[in-house]
Amino acid sequence: MSIVQEGDPVLREIAKPFSKEEFGSKELTSLIKKMTDLLDVEQNDYSVGVALAAPQIGVSKRLFVVRYDRTNRKTRTAGSAPDLGVFINPKIIRSSRKRVIMDEGCLSVRDLYGYVPRFERATVEAYDESGKKFTRGAGGLLAQIFQHEIDHLDGILFIDQATDCWRHGPPSDEQ
């Protein structure tokens, strides 16, 4: 299994929600494990993946996983201990009025980065693997991740709204 790349139609679909019957199933547990394992091995020289949505592995379902341990610059390394967040049928229920321009990339759009306007803060309502509803608020990078991954579930890629795109590392001031 590998990460689906730009051009694959599944990345442009609106993902289907999980039914109540699917919570706690072996299939859901297996899907989350596959996504987590893949997120751990899919990296490049410029970044380590912090989150992955189900459409990125070819599954058009409303699910994303986040490696919280990789959202802090001090612990954003491939060898850090996993601290996983699972968001099933997520939706943003609150966001700040203020938007900030953030640099962004995506494992489904290899080696391309750009600047994307994102809400400074966002609160997500979702379900865990067992079907328990929860909310999680965030600012900064984690708020950006929530918006980026929910965009994936709605068939939107960051390049649809990015400006000043570049390949590999960010442009240098010395150019």
Buried b (16+ CB within 10 A) or exposed e, 114-146: bbbebbebbbbebbebeeeeeeeebeebbbbbb
pLDDT at residue 70 in the model: 84
Residue 175: the pLDDT is 42
Q: What is the edge-to-edge ordering of all strands in the sheet holding 109-119?
A: 99-106, 109-119, 163-167
pLDDT at residue 80, rounded to an integer: 56
Enter the pTM of the model: 0.89
Residues of the chain with pLDDT under 70: 42-47, 73-81, 169-175
Model pLDDT, residue 41:
77
**pLDDT given at position 42:** 67
pLDDT given for residue 77 in this prediction: 54
Residues assigned a catalytic role? 149
How does pLDDT run across 116-165, given as a tens digit for each residue? Answer: 999 999 999 999 999 999 999 999 999 999 999 999 999 999 999 999 99
Structural domains in the chain plus CATH codes: 9-75+83-167 (3.90.45.10)
- CB-CB contact of 148 with 106 (8 Å): yes
Tokens found for residue 139 = 């600012």
